[in-house]
């Protein structure tokens, strides 16, 4: 009895000392522990998602893939699987499980089986969502235990379990069971089989080792352990165990459910979100909605790619991607070849292939594709492939397939008109941007042939000389100074001499034909270079350059020389499209944008675009040049001031329209600044229409658009080609859609050259590359889709525009004969009639014949 009493005393003393020590350690450690009070409102890290305007997922950015789920959305068997393998006494303990620890130690010591972990689900949660670290140390373990106690006191068992299932790392960047189910099986939780549930439950212990994508054997073994534990705990029957154990695991990596990918625009969205929110952009669960629609974006990408490939085929075949084996001396290993093909960076709809056999007798080749299948490539698919010599020269057309491809070569192929064709990575590149001219909403944007080829966004970053695409802006400048569409200039060669230098400048028309005196309308429609130079001379280089800035073009990019009139300045396709929008929308300088709204983690709107818009029929004055004075006035000053003090900084009384404009500027949305008058914008829109449809006696340089988009008449545009054909452009409008297309080489050194017609497209004539041939086809094909379903826009002349009948050759008033109706801003119309010269007759005394003096 004495011994028992001593033992009991020591036991009670030890227990008391243990409690005191535990309490003391807890009080010492507790201040170092993170607070658990915020766990009930914890925001699970989620990636940023970028959507189209029609709500389709375009991209996902962020290291952690997560699909949060409610506990009532989780199948019971999936919960049972996690409890069986991770914490069978979860609903019985208070954060730590002494019995579980002892059982795990006993099992490990007796059998070496470490499948039963000692950490409870609550302890794992404490480790996963706090910053106590993952190092193997006694201090970290003690902190984990204390945190587990705190969590159990603050949250219910259901709340803890839901947090755990949503935060546990499951491999392949997936956090939580919702993301893991989709990543490995492409399924939602309610679609999982028992076998798949067991596999997921087995992942947290070692996501890399038990990952079925990395090792199906280890994943299967781990799944079977989970199933055995479920059977032992009575969660499943023997029959369910056997059936699930016999089921093969079929898993592969499933990316986010992307409806369509447009990486140039989604990358721009990512950069903008990072600029606004930093690293939180990738974890805050933001939903970014863009202005892009699937229909128009895919049409833009297809139009650009088809056009680039057409150019590339006109310029010959540059040879295979690589030679995988020497057909004359080395046999090939099919598995190694397929591996090489699969590791090739994918481009557009290209398919990497290896040439297995070439039969000149049958004029076809057998190819091994990257998916392991074999296909036949017929001679028709390589007939275009003249050997590339340079951009101006190719070898004669091939006569047999062996003239083009050879056994052992790695090549690209694609399907064209449902048949396999040889193709190649294009050397040339392109960009397309399309805007709503009234709002600035970007409806489509393509920054290059393929994002995998180059991430450089040519639509917004490439500064390229714009050639004749610049001419409409200078024609607007000269008409703003009083010239008209009927003003006649001499279409004849020019030579300019630099003062103090022996160098001369002799701009030439392209083609080099000269028609003598012609009206400005025809000069723009036929893109007469020398007339453009003469027109800019008429108002002065500085006045023309200043006017160019009205359209949003940076002053730093404008060289103030006569050469600028022919397109020597360099701008981006986005800037060019914005400039053309001024003509289409009645004179307003809109601001392009591509994000309509941003939603945060809770679904609240944290950003919403409120664009300043054009209003073609509104009586808004031109205020360009007064922007600094108007900006100095606040809305409160204007609204609260008396009539006598509503003036600009120079003391000039403000008009009602200006006050309305100031008010809209200081509010969300409102009107964009009007930089040219509605009358001038109407004239420019009308003359750009002539560039497409011409008039009797001549065609405009953009005439192909009229054929493709017939029967529409509300379209207009302008070609553009720079010196040596290094850049080709087409920019224009249809209804309220403005689109600009550029084609050129990235190195800016190579000319586009002269193409050779290829048999796949008889409409592609041979000859020099230029805006109408090289860039306009992409514009035509895209606009055909973009304008589908949009009613043809009828624009009536605005107040201040009159129509007068003029003589087509002199631009003077006409009573008949060779005349046409022309629009004028009232007061600028011609005042005199054309008088036909009557020749004076004389009689030759020697011959007696009558001759005309004139």
**Do residues 718 and 688 touch, judged by C-beta distance below 8 A?**
yes
**Do residues 548 and 558 touch, judged by C-beta distance below 8 A?**
yes
What is the DSSP pairing of strand 287-290 with strand 48-51? parallel
User: Tell me, what's the pLDDT at 731?
Assistant: 98
Backbone angles phi, psi at 56, to 5 degrees: -95, 135
Q: Which of 107-121, 202-216, 326-340, 381-395 has the lowest mean pLDDT?
A: 107-121
User: Tell me, what's the pLDDT at 636?
Assistant: 43
The 10s digit of each residue's pLDDT in 453-472 is 999 999 999 999 999 999 99
The 10s digit of each residue's pLDDT in 563-613 is 999 999 999 999 999 999 999 999 999 999 999 999 998 899 999 999 988
The 10s digit of each residue's pLDDT in 124-169 is 888 877 655 555 555 556 667 777 777 888 889 999 899 999 989 9
User: Tell me, what's the pLDDT at 530?
Assistant: 93
User: Tell me, what's the pLDDT at 35?
Assistant: 62
Predicted confidence band of residue 116 (pLDDT cuts 50, 70, 90) = very low
User: Tell me, what's the pLDDT at 630?
Assistant: 43
User: Tell me, what's the pLDDT at 472?
Assistant: 96
The 10s digit of each residue's pLDDT in 293-307 is 999 999 999 999 999
Mean pLDDT on 401-407: 94
Backbone angles phi, psi at 813, to 5 degrees: -60, 150
Q: Which of 146-160, 323-337, 623-637, 836-850 has the lowest mean pLDDT?
A: 623-637
Residue 52 and residue 671: Cα distance in Å, rounded? 26
What's the burial of 826, exposed, middle or buried (CB within 10 Å: 0-12/13-18/19+)? exposed
Can you name the residues that pair with 734 across neighbouring β-strands? 715, 737
User: Tell me, what's the pLDDT at 500?
Assistant: 54
The 10s digit of each residue's pLDDT in 244-278 is 999 999 999 988 888 898 999 999 999 999 999 99
User: Tell me, what's the pLDDT at 615?
Assistant: 85
User: Tell me, what's the pLDDT at 666?
Assistant: 47
Backbone angles phi, psi at 598, to 5 degrees: -130, 130
Predicted confidence band of residue 816 (pLDDT cuts 50, 70, 90) = confident
**Residue located via tokens 């227990």:** 15
Please check the confidence at residue 27 and state whether its pLDDT lies above 90. no
The 10s digit of each residue's pLDDT in 744-767 is 999 888 889 877 654 444 444 445
User: Tell me, what's the pLDDT at 139?
Assistant: 55
Predicted confidence band of residue 629 (pLDDT cuts 50, 70, 90) = very low
The 10s digit of each residue's pLDDT in 699-746 is 999 999 999 999 999 999 999 999 888 999 999 999 999 999 999 999
Joined tokens for residue 742:
């550029």
User: Tell me, what's the pLDDT at 398?
Assistant: 93
User: Tell me, what's the pLDDT at 762?
Assistant: 41
Catalytic residues: 86, 468
% residues pLDDT > 90 (the chain): 62
Predicted confidence band of residue 41 (pLDDT cuts 50, 70, 90) = low
**Residue located via tokens 């919403």:** 608
Write the CB contacts of 324 (distance below 8 Å, at least 6 apart in sequence): 332, 337, 340, 354, 408, 409, 410
Q: Which of 549, 398, 540 is nearest to 470 (CA)?
A: 549
The 10s digit of each residue's pLDDT in 311-320 is 999 999 999 9
Mean pLDDT on 348-364: 94
3-state secondary structure 264-291: HHHHHHHHHHHHHHHHHHHCECCEEEEC
Mean pLDDT on 230-247: 95
Helices (H) and strands (E) in the chain, counts: 25, 30
Mean pLDDT taken over the chain: 85
Mean pLDDT on 91-104: 72
């Amino acid at each position: 009895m004495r011994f028992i009493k001593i033992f009991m005393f020591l036991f009670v003393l030890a227990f008391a000392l243990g409690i005191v020590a535990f309490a003391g350690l807890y009080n010492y450690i507790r201040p170092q522990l993170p607070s658990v009070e915020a766990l009930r409102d914890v925001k699970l890290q989620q990636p940023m998602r970028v959507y189209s305007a029609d709500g389709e997922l375009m991209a996902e950015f962020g290291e952690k893939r997560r699909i949060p789920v409610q506990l009532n959305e989780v199948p019971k068997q999936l919960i049972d699987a996690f409890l069986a393998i991770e914490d069978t006494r979860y609903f019985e303990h208070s954060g730590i499980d002494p019995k579980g620890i002892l059982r795990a130690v006993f099992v490990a010591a007796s059998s070496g089986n470490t499948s039963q972990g000692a950490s409870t689900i609550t302890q794992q949660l404490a480790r996963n969502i706090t910053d106590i670290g993952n190092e193997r140390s006694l201090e970290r373990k003690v902190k984990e235990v204390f945190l587990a106690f705190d969590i159990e006191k603050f949250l219910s068992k259901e709340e803890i379990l839901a947090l755990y299932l949503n935060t546990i790392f499951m491999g392949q960047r997936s956090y939580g069971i919702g993301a893991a189910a989709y990543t490995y099986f492409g399924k939602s939780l309610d679609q999982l089989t028992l076998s798949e549930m067991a596999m997921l439950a087995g992942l947290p212990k070692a996501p890399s080792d038990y990952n079925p994508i990395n090792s199906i054997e280890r994943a299967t073994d781990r799944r079977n352990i989970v199933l055995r534990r479920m059977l032992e705990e009575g969660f499943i029957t023997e029959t369910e165990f056997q059936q699930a154990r016999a089921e093969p695991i079929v898993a592969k990596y499933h990316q986010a459910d992307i409806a369509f990918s447009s990486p140039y625009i989604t990358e721009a969205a990512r950069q903008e979100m990072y600029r606004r929110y930093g690293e939180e952009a990738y974890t805050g669960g933001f939903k970014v909605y863009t202005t892009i629609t699937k229909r128009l974006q895919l049409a833009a990408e297809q139009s650009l790619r088809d056009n680039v490939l057409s150019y590339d085929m006109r310029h010959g075949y540059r040879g295979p991607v690589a030679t995988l084996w020497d057909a004359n001396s080395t046999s090939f290993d099919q598995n190694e070849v397929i591996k090489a093909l699969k590791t090739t960076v994918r481009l557009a709809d290209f398919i990497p292939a290896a040439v297995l056999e070439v039969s000149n007798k049958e004029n076809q080749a057998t190819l091994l594709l990257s998916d392991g299948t074999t296909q036949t490539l017929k001679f028709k698919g390589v007939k275009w492939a003249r050997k590339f010599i340079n951009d101006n020269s190719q070898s004669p057309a091939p006569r047999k397939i062996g003239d083009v491809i050879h056994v052992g070569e790695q090549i690209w192929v694609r399907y064209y008109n449902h048949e396999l064709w040889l193709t190649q990575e294009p050397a040339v590149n392109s960009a397309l941007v399309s805007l709503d001219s009234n709002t600035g909403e970007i409806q489509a944007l393509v920054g290059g042939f393929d994002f995998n080829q180059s991430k450089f966004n040519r639509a917004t970053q490439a500064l390229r000389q714009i050639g004749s695409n610049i001419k409409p802006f200078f024609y607007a400048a000269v008409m703003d100074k009083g010239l008209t569409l009927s003003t006649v200039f001499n279409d004849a060669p020019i030579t300019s001499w630099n003062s103090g230098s022996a160098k001369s400048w002799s701009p030439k028309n392209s083609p080099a034909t000269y028609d003598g005196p012609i009206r400005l309308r025809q000069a723009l429609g036929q893109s007469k270079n020398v007339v453009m130079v003469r027109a800019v001379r008429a108002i002065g280089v500085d006045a023309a350059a200043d006017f160019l800035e009205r359209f949003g073009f940076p002053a730093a990019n404008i060289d103030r020389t006569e050469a600028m009139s022919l397109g020597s300045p360099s701008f981006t396709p986005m800037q060019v499209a914005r400039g053309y929008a001024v003509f289409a929308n009645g004179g307003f300088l809109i601001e392009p944008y591509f994000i309509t709204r941003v939603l945060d983690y809770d679904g609240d709107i944290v950003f919403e675009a409120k664009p300043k818009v054009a209003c073609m029929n509104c009586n808004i004055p031109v205020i360009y040049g007064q922007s600094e004075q108007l900006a100095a006035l606040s809305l409160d000053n204007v609204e609260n001031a008396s009539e006598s003090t509503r003036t600009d900084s120079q003391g000039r009384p403000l008009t009602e329209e200006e006050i309305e404009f100031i008010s809209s500027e200081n509010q969300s949305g409102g009107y964009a600044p009007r930089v040219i008058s509605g009358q001038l914008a109407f004239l420019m829109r009308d003359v750009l229409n002539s560039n497409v449809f011409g008039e009797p006696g001549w065609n405009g340089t953009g005439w192909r658009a009229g054929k493709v988009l017939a029967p529409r008449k509300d379209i207009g545009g302008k070609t553009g080609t720079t010196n040596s054909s290094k850049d080709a452009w087409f920019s224009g409008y249809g209804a309220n859609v403005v689109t600009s297309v550029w084609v050129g080489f990235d190195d800016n050194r190579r000319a586009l050259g002269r193409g050779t017609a290829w048999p796949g497209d008889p409409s592609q004539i041979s000859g020099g590359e230029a805006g109408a041939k090289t860039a306009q086809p992409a514009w035509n094909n895209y606009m055909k889709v973009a304008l589908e379903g949009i009613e043809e826009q009828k624009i009536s002349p605005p107040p201040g525009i009159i129509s007068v009948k003029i003589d087509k050759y002199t631009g003077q008033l006409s009573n008949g004969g060779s005349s046409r109706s022309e629009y004028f801003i009232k007061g600028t119309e011609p005042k005199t009639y054309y008088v036909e010269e009557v020749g004076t007759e004389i009689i030759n005394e020697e011959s007696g014949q009558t001759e005309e003096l004139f």
